[in-house]
Amino acid sequence: MNVETPVVEPALALDTPAETESPSVTPTDNMAFKKGIVVGADEADLIPGAIAKLRSLDEVAEMVKGCKRCPLYKTAKNPVPGEGDPHAQLVCVGEAPGAKEDETGRPFIGQAGQLLTKILAAVDLAREQVFIVNVLKHRPPSNRNPLPDEVEACSPYLIRQLELIKPKVIVAFGTFAAQTLLNTKTPLGQLRGLVHRYHGIPLIVTYHPAALLRNPAWKRPTWEDVKLARRILDSAPRS
Ligand code: URA
């Protein structure tokens, strides 16, 4: 796929009803989407008291600023809590801040971030219309993979952000975000094309923009994935 000049839309093979039941009936349950993994309850889950009580995304960002729940704050230059429309209908979730993000405190602003902006534009979404966030809010040293303890410590922020934003759909970019959010080791290829649920919110999985920079052949499947997210948005009731 070339995200700048999208080619003719391929058919999406999404007409088979799922065998897995989701815990409650929502608009997407009645649609022809293949259902995937369900993580967390639809209502607020057990997240640590102080984080659960945060009333706005600004309050979450403020708490992330002073966060010492894992050691990453010691090596990072800046926290990267996330940014975008607080009422976004779509939330993009990446892995963790890289060097540029660490310098600036803003998510996805490097080369991968520029590609992310183009991917969103391919489905008529401006970067400012969505909310962009990472699983980890501080950069792991030398961009190493996040550790399980870091993910566990940081996840309540993401859960609270999603509770506050209440998006209609989440897109997990890359294997790490997808496997972490869905609590699975299933390869990304098998998680694509399904509508999973993360704390009640439909979740779509696709390639990480950084992977697309190395593997342009994955741009077309990525476009198919974001179109699936777009279809979910378009079919969600207006709120
Ligand atoms: N990669 C990510 O997963 N997140 C960023 O913010 C930047 C690069």
| Residue 134, domain member (yes or no) | yes
C-alpha pair distances (Å), 165 with each of 111, 176, 212: 26, 22, 28
User: Which pLDDT belongs to residue 118?
Assistant: 97
User: Which pLDDT belongs to residue 40?
Assistant: 81
Task: Identify residue 187 by its one-letter amino acid code.
Answer: P
Whether ligand 1 lies within 6 angstroms of the CB of 95 is answered as yes
| Residue 160, domain member (yes or no) | yes
- Tell me how crowded residue 61 is: count the other CB atoms within 10 A of its CB: 19
| Residue 16, domain member (yes or no) | no
Whether ligand 1 lies within 6 angstroms of the CB of 108 is answered as yes
Using DSSP's 3-state secondary structure scheme, residue 39 falls into strand
| Residue 18, domain member (yes or no) | no
Whether ligand 1 lies within 6 angstroms of the CB of 94 is answered as yes
**H helix or E strand, kind and range, residue 134:** strand 131-134
Q: Count of domains in the chain? A: 1
Q: Among 210, 201, 192, which residue's Cα sits nearest to residue 232?
A: 201
Whether ligand 1 lies within 6 angstroms of the CB of 207 is answered as no
| Residue 1, domain member (yes or no) | no
**CATH code assigned at 218:** 3.40.470.10
Q: Among 47, 81, 86, which residue's Cα sits nearest to residue 63?
A: 81
| Span from the CA of 144 to the centroid of ligand 1 (angstroms) | 12
Rounded-to-integer distance, Cα 43 and Cα 115, Å: 33
| Residue 233 exposure: Cα atoms within 13 Å on the Cβ side | 21
User: Which pLDDT belongs to residue 108?
Assistant: 98
| Span from the CA of 108 to the centroid of ligand 1 (angstroms) | 5
User: Which pLDDT belongs to residue 76?
Assistant: 98
Rounded-to-integer distance, Cα 133 and Cα 172, Å: 10
| Residue 12, domain member (yes or no) | no
| Residue 208, domain member (yes or no) | yes
Each residue's pLDDT expressed in tens, for the chain with a length of 239 residues: 333 333 333 332 223 333 333 334 455 656 678 899 998 876 555 567 899 999 999 999 999 999 999 999 999 999 999 999 999 999 999 999 999 999 999 999 999 999 999 999 999 999 999 999 999 999 999 999 999 999 999 999 999 999 999 999 999 999 999 999 999 999 999 999 999 999 899 999 999 999 999 999 999 999 999 999 999 999 988 77
Q: Measured from the CA of 94, which atom of ligand 1 is nearest? A: 3
Q: CA gyration radius for the chain?
A: 17
| Span from the CA of 139 to the centroid of ligand 1 (angstroms) | 9
| Residue 190, domain member (yes or no) | yes
> Which tokens hold the place of 39?
């993580």
Task: Please tell me the total number of residues recorded for the chain in this structure.
Answer: 239
Mutate to test the pocket of ligand 1, among 91, 101, 133 (most ligand atoms within 8 A of CB): 101
C-alpha pair distances (Å), 11 with each of 7, 151, 193, 221: 12, 36, 12, 11
| Span from the CA of 235 to the centroid of ligand 1 (angstroms) | 29
> Which tokens hold the place of 203?
């979740």
Mutate to test the pocket of ligand 1, among 78, 104, 108 (most ligand atoms within 8 A of CB): 108
Residue nearest to atom 7 of ligand 1 (CA): 108
Rounded-to-integer distance, Cα 177 and Cα 159, Å: 13
Whether ligand 1 lies within 6 angstroms of the CB of 98 is answered as yes
Rounded-to-integer distance, Cα 200 and Cα 197, Å: 5
Q: Is there a contact between 236 and 89 (Cβ–Cβ < 8 Å)?
A: yes
Using DSSP's 3-state secondary structure scheme, residue 220 falls into helix
| Span from the CA of 87 to the centroid of ligand 1 (angstroms) | 21
Using DSSP's 3-state secondary structure scheme, residue 21 falls into coil
Q: What phi, psi does 145 have (nearest 5°)?
A: -65, 140
- Tell me how crowded residue 220 is: count the other CB atoms within 10 A of its CB: 15
> Which tokens hold the place of 20?
């897995």
Q: Measured from the CA of 134, which atom of ligand 1 is nearest? A: 4
Domain span at 178: 35-235
